[in-house]
Structure 1
Amino acid sequence: MSREIAYSTEVTKLRHNKYLWASRVITVMWAILTVCFAILNAVAFVQAQWLGDTTESPGVGFFGLYEYCETLQVDGDYSCKGDFMSFDTILNDSFRAASMLVGISALLFIVSVVCLLLFFFLKADKVLKICGWLQLIASLCIMTGCIVYPSGWDDPMVRKVCGKEAAKYNWGRCNMRWAFILSIVLIFDGFVLSFLAFMLAKRQANLLPKYKEEKSVAIANGGYNASINGSFVNPVMYPEEEKQPQPFSTFHTPYSQDEVDNKDEVFEAYDRDQDIRL
Structure 2
Amino acid sequence: MATSLTGVGVLWAVLSLAAAILCCSGFYLPFWIQGRLLGKVDAYFSSFRRCNYPRVTSQGVVEIVHECGRYSRFWDIPSPWWQASTVLVGLGSALSLLVAVTALAACCISYVIHTATARVAGSMQLLAAVLVCGGGAVYPVGWDNREVRDCCGNASHVYKLGTCHLSWSVYLLGGAVTILVLCFILSFCAAREKPSSFRF
Normalising by structure 2, we get a TM-score of: 0.78
Would the aligned equivalents of 2:36 and 2:43 in 1 still touch at CA under 8 Å? no
Would the aligned equivalents of 1:82 and 1:89 in 2 still touch at CA under 8 Å? no
Aligned identity (percent) is 25
Q: Structure 1 CA distance, aligned partners of 2:187 and 2:170?
A: 26
Report what 1:181 is aligned to.
171
Report what 2:87 is aligned to.
100
Q: Structure 2 CA distance, aligned partners of 1:39 and 1:115?
A: 14
Q: Which has the higher helix share?
A: 1
Q: Structure 2 CA distance, aligned partners of 1:114 and 1:106?
A: 12
Counterpart of 1:164 in structure 2: which amino acid?
N
**1:36 matches 2:55:** no
**Bigger CA radius of gyration:** 1
Report what 1:165 is aligned to.
155
Q: Which has the higher strand share?
A: 2
RMSD (Å) for aligned C-alpha atoms: 2.6
| Secondary structure of 1:131's aligned partner | helix
**1:193 matches 2:175:** no
Q: Structure 2 CA distance, aligned partners of 1:58 and 1:91?
A: 22
From 27, 30, 37, the equivalent of 1:48 is 30
Would the aligned equivalents of 1:57 and 1:162 in 2 still touch at CA under 8 Å? no
- Structure 2 unaligned blocks of 5 or more: 55-63, 195-200
- Residues 99 and 168 of structure 1: is their aligned pair in 2 closer, same or farther, counting only changes over 3 Å? same
Report what 1:243 is aligned to.
none
| Secondary structure of 1:166's aligned partner | coil
**1:135 matches 2:144:** no
> Residue 168 of structure 1: CA displacement?
0.6
Would the aligned equivalents of 1:52 and 1:175 in 2 still touch at CA under 8 Å? yes
Would the aligned equivalents of 1:132 and 1:197 in 2 still touch at CA under 8 Å? yes
Q: Structure 1 CA distance, aligned partners of 2:36 and 2:138?
A: 23
- Structure 1 unaligned blocks of 5 or more: 1-22, 206-278
Q: Structure 1 CA distance, aligned partners of 2:6 and 2:84?
A: 39
Normalising by structure 1, we get a TM-score of: 0.58
- Kindly report which structure 2 residues correspond to 1:10-21, keeping only aligned pairs within 5 A, or say none: none
Would the aligned equivalents of 2:32 and 2:45 in 1 still touch at CA under 8 Å? yes
- Residues 47 and 83 of structure 1: is their aligned pair in 2 closer, same or farther, counting only changes over 3 Å? same
Report what 1:255 is aligned to.
none
